[in-house]
Structure 1
C-alpha cells in the first residue's frame, strides 16, 4: 500500500515539475517562459555585458550580474576584437541620443559595431542573451536594434506592457526564441540567472 502511495506521489511530483518548467504558448503561439525563466541553463560565463544604443540600462544588468556573482566583463562599447575570453554576449538594448553623444558615436557606427559583434558570436559559437528594458519611447532606433539583434539571440528578456513587448513577441514567434516577460526591472534577476544555472 505504501509503495503504491509513493508511486502516485512521485508521479504527481514529476508531472507537476514538467508542467511548471514547460513553456506555454500564448495566443500568438510564442514561447513565453514565465516563472522563473528557462528550465535549464543555456549559457556559460564569462559574460560580456554590452550596450546596444548606449542607454544606461546596461549598468543595471552589470549590477544584477554582480549580485548573482557571475563572472562578467562590463564592456558597454565593446568591439568584436575586444571579446577574447568570453562565452556569452549579453546585449542590453536601448537607444539614447545623449549616450551616443557622450560616446561620440553616430547611429550608423553603433549599428556597424553591433553587426560585427553578432558576426563574432556566430563565428565563435557564442551564446547571445538580449535584454530590453527601455529606450526613448518615440524613437524607432531601439526597435531597429531589436530587429537587428533578434535573429541572432538565444534568449530574450523584456518588460511586460512596455512599448517594446509586441516587437519581442513578434520576433520570438518567428525565430522560436525563448522569451521571458517580467513586470518590473527587479524581476529580471531570476530569468537572467536561469540562463546560467
Structure 2
C-alpha cells in the first residue's frame, strides 16, 4: 500500500490499517449475528481484545465502522466511470460503473443481502449512508459533464448533477426493492425499470 505520493506506507500506517480491518471484520460479524442496534461498541472492543477507549481511536461511531469504506467505494465508482469509452452515453456509462462497483465488493451474495438489509433497517445508518453518497456525486459529475459535450455551457453542470443524482437514486430504489424481496428480484432489472421510469 502506497501513500498519496506513491511511497510505501509507513509501518505505523500499515499497522493502523490492519487494526481497522480487524475491527471491521469483528464488528460486521457481530452486526450480522445479533443486529446493528443490539451490538455495542463495548462488545466490539471485547471481541478484538481491546478497550472501548482504544476502539474510538479508530472509529468514532458504529456507523463509521459499517460505512467507513464508502469513500473508497466512491473512488472505485469514479475510476470505473472514467474507464468507460469516451463516446458512451451518460446513462449507459453510469449503469456499467455501478454494476462494476457491486461486482467489486468482497461479499458473497448472501452476506451482501444481510449487510444491505441491515443498512436499510437502521435509520442512523441510512442517514449516514446518504451523507456519504453525496460525496460520490462530486466524484462523478466531471466525467458526466464531459460526456454531455457542452463544457462551455454553464448549464452543463446542472444537467450532469441531475443525471448523477437520478442514477444514484435509481440504484438506491433498485437495491431497496431487492432487499424487500429478500434477494429474489433481479437488481439490474429493477435499476433499468427505475431508469426507464425517470427517462420516460
Scaled by the length of structure 2, the TM-score of the pair is: 0.26
- 1 or 2, which has the higher strand percentage? 1
Q: Which has the higher helix share?
A: 2
The TM-score with structure 1 as length reference comes to: 0.27
